[in-house]
Amino acid sequence: MNRIIEQSMGKYTNLLEPDAMELFSQYGINTPKCRLTHSPDEAAAAAADIGYPVVLKISSHDIVHKSDVGGVAAGLADEDALRKAYGNILTSAAEKAPNAEIAGINVMEMAEQGLECIVGMNKDDQFGNVIMFGLGGIFVEVLKDVSLQLMPITKDEAYEMISQIRGAKLLTGYRGSAPKDVDAVADLICRVADMVQDNPEIKELDINPVFVYEDGVKVVDARVIL
């Protein structure tokens, strides 16, 4: 069993985000630098190493949607902002998720904004492992614009998934907007499928969002359910 999964398996039903990010990195998936910290001093030291601006996120096995509990602060430019945000996140989480056991605060490199996309994986009793791809934000929440494929998946099928969504032009380019790195997206989908194939303990997975750039992609939020 993968060491990262083994640490949480049996004790928790999901991975903490820093662990999920490390697992993704093992599969060659681009993630922001991050570090789990347990005090404002530790967070400030981590941010100094990572480099400002940074993002702070609440880290708890009991909190699935971090923003919903005021658990995400992005674009922190210096140590003052970081220390304030650190306190605010803990206060807000204590109020909105009083029963959650807090593992710490994740200090994360602030990624440059890209086109927000999502990649997911679900286990269907009847069909097996299903991979999902879509555009993030309102595209998935309002328009349900996603495409699905059964695993195993070939690179060609990954490209098909991308072209099948109604909003595909946002990726391939339209009018003034430059084409995004579709190759990197197809590669990401295949790497996620490989990761799921190798680790049957993964029951469900959600990347929301991955930032897609003209050159490359970066996964900034990952949820792995065991």
**Selected range binding ligand ADP among 35-43, 95-103, 109-117, 123-131, rule: CB under 6 A:** 109-117
173-212 residues near ligand ADP, rule: CB under 6 A: 208-209
d(C-alpha 54, C-alpha 81), whole Å? 10
Shortest separation between residue 20's beta carbon and ligand ADP, angstroms: 11
> Is the separation of the CB atoms in 189 and 26 below 8 Å?
no
At residue 154, φ and ψ (nearest 5 deg) are -90, 165
Burial level of 112, CB count in 10 A (0-12/13-18/19+)? Answer: exposed
Shortest separation between residue 92's beta carbon and ligand ADP, angstroms: 12
**Selected range binding Mg ion among 56-64, 115-123, 133-141, 205-213, rule: CB under 5 A:** 205-213
N- to C-terminal Cα separation, the chain: 12
d(C-alpha 174, C-alpha 181), whole Å? 14
Q: Are strands 34-37 and 104-109 parallel, antiparallel or unpaired?
A: antiparallel
Q: Does 93 bind ligand ADP (CB under 6 A)?
A: no
Q: Does 20 bind ligand ADP (CB under 6 A)?
A: no
- Binding mask 43-82 toward ligand ADP (x if CB under 6 A, else -) reads ------------x-x-------xxx----x-x--------
From 5, 21, 30, 32, residue interacting with ligand ADP (rule: CB under 6 A):
32
Question: How far lies 178's CA from each of 40, 111, 114, 147, 165, in Å?
Answer: 40, 19, 12, 23, 18
- Binding mask 155-194 toward Mg ion (x if CB under 5 A, else -) reads ----------------------------------------
Partner interacting with residue 220 (select from Mg ion, ligand ADP, none; CB below 5-8 Å by kind): ligand ADP
d(C-alpha 151, C-alpha 142), whole Å? 26
From 146, 208, 212, 217, residue interacting with Mg ion (rule: CB under 5 A):
208
Q: Is the dihedral of CA 98, 219, 75, 109 positive or negative?
A: positive
Q: Does 108 bind ligand ADP (CB under 6 A)?
A: yes
- The CA R_g of the chain, rounded to the nearest whole Å, is 18
Site of interaction with ligand ADP (CB under 6 A): 32, 55, 57, 65-67, 72, 74, 108-111, 208-209, 220-221
Site of interaction with Mg ion (CB under 5 A): 208, 221
